[in-house]
Amino acid sequence: MIAFEASGRRLVLCNVEGALYALDDRCPHAGATLSTGRLRGCVLECPFHGGKLDVRDGTPVAPPIRRPAAAYAVRTDPGGLAVALPVIAGA
């Protein structure tokens, strides 16, 4: 796992058996920095309250997290990695 910034967003990149996934680096429950949590398989545990998310799609898998985290597609390209971020109107 590694935290990085792209287009003004702080993200966490997770490597699960060679597959890459990106999420907002912020817990949807309490705002904790997810990149300081623990990744086991495809499940990321929040460092504050122990809630868990599936990094493949941001789905909560253990309370107290109830809302999904924003998840973004990742692909490799000749220059490195590309993360599919939404376009922000007016930006």
For residue 88, how many C-alpha atoms fall within 13 Å in the half-sphere facing its CB? 5
| CB-CB neighbours of 64 under 10 Å | 13
> What is the structure's pLDDT at 89?
56
> What is the structure's pLDDT at 71?
95
Q: Is 48 exposed, middle or buried (0-12, 13-18, 19+ CB in 10 A)?
A: middle
pLDDT of 16-73, one tens digit each? Answer: 999 999 999 999 999 999 999 999 999 999 999 999 999 999 999 999 999 999 999 9
Highest average pLDDT, of 3-7, 57-61, 76-80, comes from: 57-61
The more confident residue out of 80 and 86 is 80
Q: How far apart are CA 89 and CA 91, in angstroms?
A: 6
> What is the structure's pLDDT at 77?
84
> What is the structure's pLDDT at 78?
87
Q: Find residue 4's DSSP bridge partners.
A: 11
Q: What is the pTM of this model?
A: 0.88
For each of the domains in the chain, give its residue range(s) and CATH number, in order of start: 2-83 (2.102.10.10)
Q: Is the pLDDT of residue 87 over 80?
A: no
